[in-house]
Amino acid sequence: MAVVSGGERGDLNAISPAMRDALDSWLAGLKALDDATANTLAAYHADVLGYMAFLGRHHGGAAGIGPLTRVTVSDMRAWMAFERARGVSARTLARMLSAVKSFTAWLAEREGFDATAVLSTRSPKFQKKLPRPLSEDAAKAMIGTVELQSTTDWIALRDAAVVTLLYGCGLRISEALGLTGADVPLPEVLRIRGKGGKERVVPVIDAARAATAAYLRACPHPVEPVAPLFRGARGGALNPRLIQKAMQTARMQLGLPASATPHAMRHSFATHLLSAGGDLRAIQELLGHASLSTTQAYTAVDAARLMEVYEKTHPRSA
């Protein structure tokens, strides 16, 4: 079966059986130990397979464990140059290199070889894209306008409830749609399992509870503990594309930019909290970010504001 990697198609037949086994074992370890998501595992599989397929072509023959133990700095440069020549962006190549380094470090520990040439390879520089928040008025208008997109009352209430959770609780759309009947009535605090299986506690505002309750009163499908809270028209799990489409239509009616997406509602939640004087580390916890630097970029506040928060909260010694 062929797997796409950064625009390059890597064939499993292009690597040796031993390498296929090693790749499968590494991915199984990530799933078991790091609780990596299916999407993450698929991306890592594609990235590493493409890298190994390149090495096989570069040196001739199928890529096996032996050649990977002898990768040089020149080989790494050739692979990265090849991917860039194919049109792979610096951001994507950085992600691919991260996967390759992770796999190589695992393989080096298992096989006992020096992986310095791979692990010391510098990641290409790229400009991080900052999500653009909506203004508070625009965020509220988005919720109200989304509710007008469907002529079916319960579906209109459903869409408004989902978007209210994104903005009012800072949830990712996958997290909102991952709620089940066991979560209702929504409590004052929700335990959310986010990326990488990391759990966090999120306060639920009154508006989100009210919007969800209104949706449930109108929903024709029964509330079941193991079933999705937000249902599609036929009763199955709600497709996130339907929320994206409702927001797309709403933003056109409101004259908002294309950046007014479901993720922008989560970003707006964080930005508005920080603007109102919220603590940066508390917002980090609410968003489920592993590092504070991620939250700093995510909230897109100016350096002066960050320094103000730093001065108030950093436990400096006298």
Q: Where are the domains of the chain?
A: 2-119, 136-313
Q: Which residue has the tokens 């400009």?
A: 127
Write out the catalytic residue numbers.
Answer: 172, 195, 263, 266, 289, 298
Length of the chain: 318
**Which one-letter amino acid corresponds to residue 204?**
V
Mean pLDDT per block of 10 residues along the chain (318 residues) reads 38 69 86 72 88 82 74 92 90 89 91 90 74 81 93 95 89 90 88 74 86 95 93 92 93 89 81 61 57 52 50 55
Q: Which CATH superfamily is domain 136-313 in?
A: Intergrase catalytic core (1.10.443.10)
**Which one-letter amino acid corresponds to residue 215?**
Y
**What pLDDT does 9 receive?**
41
**What pLDDT does 304 receive?**
45
* Cα separation values, 24 from 10, 30, 192, Å: 15, 10, 29
Q: How far apart are CA 209 and CA 101, in angstroms?
A: 44
Phi, psi (rounded to 5 degrees) for 63: -80, 125
**What pLDDT does 278 receive?**
57
